[in-house]
Structure formats: C-alpha cells, structure tokens
Structure 1
C-alpha cells in the first residue's frame, strides 16, 4: 500500500511537470498566454517599431549636442517607464534627428510615442477670478482634469511675454501617480521640481493663494489639468489631488514626464522593422538550449545516479516555470537576457551539486542514506543561500539603478535565481524522497564521495597570481599596440561608437537568406576594400514592414567606402536597387546609460561586500571575493582585446554574467573555509585549512563549471555569428571564474589572514614584553 502511494506520488510529479510543459510550450487558450510563443523578444531577436523624430532646439534652431544627449537619455528612461520595456534603443541620426526603436509593434507603442509636445504651467485666473486663457474654463474650475484649448488669440509666445508661464517642462524633475488613504482613497500625482523650478513655483503659488489663481498644465496644444492652488508650495514637491482614478493619475503623470524635454520633437516617420540578428537567431538559440539541457541531464545522471534523475526532473520544472513567468510578466527577452537565464541554469544545477556533494560525503562517512540526504540539504543550505542572495543583491541593484540592457539582464537573472532556488531546495528534495521510498534505498544508487585531494594550492599561489597578471599585462600591451595603430584599444561596435545607417530601397525585396548570405557579405567586402584602415566585421539589417526597404547598420563608413558600397548594390544583377541613402548614427548606449551601469555595478559590489562581511563576520572574505570578481571581469575584457570581437551591448551583459557566476562559486569555497575554521593557531594550521577547504569543494566547482560551460558551448557551436561572438567571452569567463574561485580568492584570504595573525602575534609579544619591563 505504501509503495502504491509512492508510485502515485511519482505519477503526480510527472503529471504536474507534463502540465507545466504543455503550458510552457502551447500556452493557455487561443492567445497562447504563458507559453514560449507568447514571450516578447527584443529588437535583436524579433524586431519592433522604429520612430524617427525631427528635433528643434529650445530657441527653435538646431539643437546643441548637450540638448540632443539629454533628450536621448530622457526618451530612453521614458520608454522604460511608460511601456515597461528595458530593451529600447534610442540614438541620434544625422545632426538633428533621434531614432527610437522598441520591441514589438502594438497600438499602445504608437499612441505613447506619438509626437511629444512641450509642457507649460500657466497662471490661469486673474486677480478678479476671471478666466484668462482656457475656453469654457468655468466648467472645469477646481476640477482635477479636463482637456481644453487656449482661448482664441492667446499663444504661448504671448504668455511668455506676459509672464504668465510659471514653469516649463525642463523645470519638472519627475512625476509619479500615487494613492493617499488618510481620509478615504484619493488618487494623486506627485511632482518633483528642479532647483530652478522650485524657486519659480514657490513665488507663483505664494501669489496664487492670495489671488485665488489656478495653474493650468498645458501640453501639446491642450490643457490637461487645471488644479486649484490651496497653499504656497516652497519645498519643490507638489501634489495634484482628487484625480478620478489611479489610471487617470498615471496618465497625467506620464504626460508631465513626456513634456519634460528641453526640445521640440516632430515625428517624421514610423515603421515596423525586422529583427537585427536575423531570422535564425531564436531558432538556433532554442536548439542550443535543448541540446545543452539534454547534455546536462546526461551528465547529472551519469555522475549522481538517482540524485541526478531527481535534479534533471527539477531542471525540467525550472525550465518550464521560467518560460511561463517570462510570458506572464511580459518580460522582453534579448540576447543579454538569454545570458541571465544561462547563468541561472548553471546556478540551479550548482545548488543541486552542492547538496549532492554533501550527501555523498555523509555516505562516505558511513551515514545511512535517508539521514545522509537530510544532512546534505542541511549542511549545503548556508552556501546555497549565501551564493544566491549575493547574486540576487547584484541583480536587484542593477535592475533598480541600471537602464537598457543592464536592467533587462538583471530582471531575467533575478527571476532565474528565485526559480532555481525553489526547484533546487524543494522540487529536487521531494523527487528524491519519492524515489527513495520507491525502493532506491541502497547507497550504490547514490555513490560515495572520494577522499578529498591533497593539492597544495596555497604553496602555488604565486604561480597562480603570476599567470593572471601575465594575461592582464599582455592584454593591456595588445590594447596599447592597437591604439597606437589607430585601431582602437577595443573594436567598438555601433552600440558604443556610433556608425552608419545605410537605407536601401529595392525594386523587389530580397529574401532573408539573400540578405544574410549574399548582400551583407558584399557590403562588408566593398567597404573594407575601399579603405585599408577600415575593419568592418559585422553588420545588421532591419526590414521595414510593408516596403521594399532594408536598413543596414555598420560601424562608421568613410566616403570611399560609402561609394564602393553603393556601386556594389547598384551593379549586382541578382537584385535591383532604386535608392541608397546614408546617415550617421550615434551610439545606442549613451554616456548616461554607461554611467548608470557603472554606478549600479559599484553599488552592487559595495552591497555584496557588506553582505559577505555580515554573514562571514570577516571583511577579508568580502575583500578577497571582490578582488576575484575584478580578476574575472578583467579576463573577459582581455578576451575582447585579444580576439577583437566587437564591444557592443552584449559586452556589458557578458561581464555582469561572469561577475554573478563567479561570486556564487567563490562563496561556496568560503563557506567551507568558515565551516572548517577552528583551532587555527599557526601559519601551518591556516595553510592546511585553506588547502583542505579548496580540495573539498574542488569537485563541486569543476562539475558546476562543466554544466554551465556545456550550455554556453552549445550556443557557441549551434548559434548564429552574433551569438557565437557573445558565447566566446562567456566561455572564457566561466573558465576564469572557476580558476579564481580555486586559485585566487582563497589564496588572497590566506595572505590577508596570515598578515593579521602575524600582526596580532607581534602585538601580543610586544604587550608581553612591556609587562615584563614594568614588573622589572
């Protein structure tokens, strides 16, 4: 009877897994909600909307560089907040145009990104309480929201001359919808003003209270709100109260944020464009993922037997849950997002490997299987929590403080970490218990840990340090040589350096295969042949939906290369071209976005250091971990320097991926040192402690690295060119992260600990000698 219950339990587990797989693959209902088919892919994987704006400066002329940069950054942040996507691309086109590219092609996107007008706060009522500027203003006096135009004959210029424009959009730092519940529910819009706007608004509202004025908020030809001023507002923070609903508060806050641009934007064109990485990118990524998962399952079953079967089933739960959650929360998945998922898969397996290693150690010590399983989970818990929480801290900070690619990476990484902890700590354990109760009770089904090795890692520390330093120095030398030869220290992609957008109008649109296999190589060859100093290594294209137009993007093409490309396009017999135009485009990753990424990374490292210090009660652990992270990041960067792979948006994702992977690996080694750290009195004791701990966790570190490496290797072998150039630095990073956890981090802690022990010993000796002198 008991065995029947366990069979039913296993059937239930498999049924739930099957149900999750059905939902993940086929979705729910005709809409495919919750399925892989419903996942929103980014511009690089599936295309989206491209909108181009003509920009006029504050005084009506051409915008300054500062105005363009500020507008690009504000548009980037606005798209993120209004449309909930972190994967928009905003960049300069030519001298006075801005291009905004957003994943997907919905009516909401077109409506939200329709021509952003200018925002003004206008003193609306005069001293006698008579309406100045709003048509039918008596009907909306005191109301929170109305859509009304300026009175006949009144213009913005005349309002500026009369001094009745109190604030402009540039004076507003932020606007957010909110809910107040002190005296019932009240929906509000909270405004934050700049320092200059604070002073202006203080003067205006002080006078408005005396004169019973209202202040109309005027945007893009309409009054969108005409609130009453109830008191002087001098702190630079204001509230518009009594909104009809939270949605209307959100709408008004959105309008105010949109209007906070220093320039005027006029929409020139709006198109639906195709994927930047080509049609095969998603297909090959899926194949790579399936092959990688199959190889991981095979590896886990061979190495860990019954435990491997349990982990493989749990990995199936993990994969299905991630797909369902990506779809359910409308998370936009891009190439960097795939990196975050790959990392979390490695960490999901890592948690299982940690537990299994502990179980096998207990079995080797003679513990009965059931007790060994319980003890294994108990002893591995602290390392699992510390490793995942440390990485989760980094993901949360990057998500909150970062923008664009960084935020997208952080979201998928955080999601993956949470799901992986759930499946590793609960699902795997449940399945293991069911399999045990089904009759797999003999320890031969689980295996025993072999005795830990006796490699003297501490003795070889200087060799390890020298190898790392040599690679970094050699990489810096290569960067210096390339810079001296005017090639640039790195091969910067258009994401960082800008480039040339070549728009080609064909008489008949070529197929995807012709674009990728014939036309793109021809453009690259023509551009490089025309200018010996040029090194075009990659190109992307976007097809404009409903037209015979294709936009090719490359690094900056000088005039000889542009002419050569145009000649090739216009003289090829296999297709006909009616028009070729060129535009210079700016970097899609702005200086502000780069600063956001740097600040977020530094803050994440500080918080990670603080957490490790708090948990291990030894700052040396945190310092060693951060230095090891810097080492791993440097190794990834050196990979880009040596190979001359283009440094684009995926560069940031690659570095962050390895930081997240490496810290988890290092924490496991430190956790074992903390566990073994007792009765350490001499340098020999300290050396034995570090060597013992590293040897005990060596197998686990190697196995985790193998499973993560398998996933990335599959992407490298099966993926398209852009994915391969992303996978290569990740493979180098996985190797570097494993190397630093074994050969760098623990050895650095040994050096710091040894120094503190020597200092404490010297201080004690001095104190002892001092007492002897005093007694004498």
Structure 2
C-alpha cells in the first residue's frame, strides 16, 4: 500500500529543511556578504572597528553564511587572457649553466685552452675554446652537466643538446626538455597567479589554462583591468648580483656573462649598472616578505632567505666587504649598496621610491613567488557591476517565466497532482542553491541556463510517474495501489534518462572550461536533486494527502 515509514519521512523532511536553511543566506546576499568580508578582514588584520563590528552583527553567527559566488558576467569584474613567454625560461636555464660550466672548463685549461662566451641567440650558450683539438674534451665536460628528461614522453633523452664544431661549443635545451619545461612553467605560473590574486582577498577568481601557453584569468568584483595587470603581470623577479661597473651608456658592451641594467632610483636617473648575469641568490630563496618602514620612516619591504640561501648570502658579503652589490627587481637595479660587513642572518630590506600601497603590493608579489616567465596580455575585458546586475535580472526573469510555464502546464494536464509536482519543483530549486552554496560554486549565466533546464527535466520525471499511474488506474486497481505501482514501474525509465544526462554533464565538465563547466555543475546538481524531489518528495506529499483525504477514486 501507499505507505512511507516514519524514518523515511523524517529523513526526507530533514533534507528539505536543511536545503531551505542552506539556501536562505542567498535571499540576504549583500548583508551576508558584508558579514563574511568583515570576518575575513578581522582574521587577517586582527583589528575590529565600529563599521566592521556592525557588518559582523548584520547576520547571526549561528545561521549558515555560505553564499553562491557570482561569476564575472553576474557580478562584474575583469577578464584577462595572458600568454606566458616560455622562451624566457629557456634563456634563464642556459644562462644559469654558464658559471658552473666555465669553472669546469677552466679546470681543464690544459686540454681546451682559453675559454670565452661569445654572443648567441637567447636560449643558446656558445663558447669558444683556445685549442680546437680539445673540442672533444669540452663536449665531454659539458655532457657531464646533462641529466635525463624525467617525463614519460622524453624518457631516455637528455635535457641538453651539445654540439662541438671547430673551436666552438654550442649548448641548447633539447626538444623533450623544452616540452617538460613548458609544462612546469605553465603549472608554476597558474599557481603563482592564483596565490597573488588570493593574497589580496578577491572573491572566487577563475584561473585556468587555455591551449599550450595561455592562461584565462577572471576576477569578479574588480573594477579595473590595469589593477589586475599590475597585480599579476609583474614577474617580481628578485635577484642579488655582483656589480662589475657603473656608467651612463645603456649600449655599453658588458662582456660575456654580464648584463647592463638601468637604475630604478629617481636620484640615479640615467645611470646604468653592469652586473654579472649569474645571481648570488634569487627571490625563489625567500621564505617571507612583508611591508615595513626603513630607518627614515619611508615605506619598505623586509625579506628573509631560507637557510641555504642565507649561508650563500653571508659567505658572499663576507668575501666582498667594501664592494657594491645590486638588488635587482624585474630587470631594474632598485639599490646598489656597498657591503660594509658580513650579513649572516639572511635578512634584508628593499626601500626607496615606494608608497605604502606599492610596498604592500611588492610584498604580496615576492611572498607569492616570482613568475617563471613574463606575461603578454592578448585580451582584456571589463564587465561593469551595472551590466552584471542586468544579467542577474534577466536570469531571474527567465527562471520565473520558465517556472511559471512549467507550473501552468503541469496543473492544466494533471490537476492536483500537477500542484504536487510544482511544490516539489520549488524544493528542487532550493536544494540546488543550497548545494551550490555549500560547495562554494560560482554561478554564471550558463549556470542559470542549467537551472532553467533542470526545471523541465525535474517535472519530466513526474510526467513519467503520472502517466504510469494513469495506466495502472485503467486496469481497475485501487488508487493507492495505482500510485504505488506507478512510482515503482516508472523508476527504471527515470533512472536511465537521468544517468545518461549526468554522464553528459560529466563530459562537459571534464572537457569544457569556464562557463561550460559552470553549466555542467548546475546541470549535474539539478539532476541529482530532481531525482530526489520527483521520486521522494512528491511521493511523501502524495502519501500525506492520501492519508488525509482517503479518496476512493483519483483523477490524474
């Protein structure tokens, strides 16, 4: 008979109540959002002022405060498409090889003669030796610096291409190593960009890889593309290099293994430094960086190295007392102090030409890490909050029209049973928003389309059930038996149709990106909730109504 056990009733009602409570914060979106932002601000700064406390008190702490995050097209914000200059990494790898290889070749001077680095294209190391008969020995020494490529596609290959011709030794990265380097560079760039955006507290950014060397960045709630480009577009590559010379000619020949960089200090405008290309330590050795003030009370950034870098830095400063060394940030010499004494602690300070906002931004960039390569921005788009609100209003109208049309059709076709299906449809939408809130999903316009589509699919299950009940009623069975058999015999068809749609949603999520993933997520959640509401919620409503009215006949 049409009976539902007490524990099932409690479970179904409990899930519905939890869904209502979980979705409720979205009805008070701005108030809950201000509450969450205020709590995050207090946790980060430890300071609570009157406005912050008022925002915290604006929503009860004992109620859920998870919200559905609004995407770029609903909230407004900035979208950038960036290309990662992976060739920069090839050049850095080859340049870093030169100091060690120079020492190794110098130790074999008896065989190879004098050595010098000659100009070559970026990403290529070209060395001339004094004794052409020693080229085989030079190649052998260079091969000692090669290592096997660690990827599956490059198994068995070396990371370096080494060629010796005449008295010239030429070294480049192998194709297999370039492919592996590209993959590592993209993963590192994605992680660093994500860290930088998260550091400044932006809400639910979308940062995904597109193609071989492109990254799509969407940050809702941000008003300026320039602000985002300033945050993520700077490589923040910090190095400490020995100073070779100082002058005013930017085109001066620095010599092999050296480079000429401008001074970033306004007081040294037009001054250029000749530095050794190989740094003593780099920003990758940093373990902390934070904004501070120098001895003159001007904004600065304090930094601290890890143990191994602190040891190298201490040894270098001890060996070069009264010699200048350069602090280089993004190919500009921001300071070139003279070493007065050894600095064994591994700490230091960057100061000069910064305001508080700039020092804070630099600390964020250094703490998040240096981008492994430069970025070039191929596309930028800014969506204003007004346009985002228009999208929300349009999505709300579309959902209401869709819901109204479905309700009218169901009631016109199935009468009272159509009302039951409409009530279950409301519960279904509430559950979708509750789950989106709990998992912290981002809702976009395609996501709204997925919710609207779910409305039709949810009542589709009810249509199968009601039609099956009609068939059972034609066999002269009682109404209770007809309802029970209608649910039982329609289940396989409902399950099959929804499972195939769920598989399609999974494929869309796996292969798609950005808005397509948003659509797939809401569609998949809608399928699961519609199965629950169509099979269990409508059955509970129908059983409750049947126990109350005890009808001898029913009209479907």
TM-score > 0.5 by shorter chain? no
Q: Which has the higher strand share?
A: 2
TM range, normalised to the smaller chain? 0.3 to 0.5
Q: Which has the higher helix share?
A: 1
Q: How does the TM-score come out when normalised to structure 2?
A: 0.45
Bigger relative contact order (CA 8 A; separation at least 6): 2
Q: Is the radius of gyration larger for structure 1 or structure 2?
A: 2
Q: How does the TM-score come out when normalised to structure 1?
A: 0.33
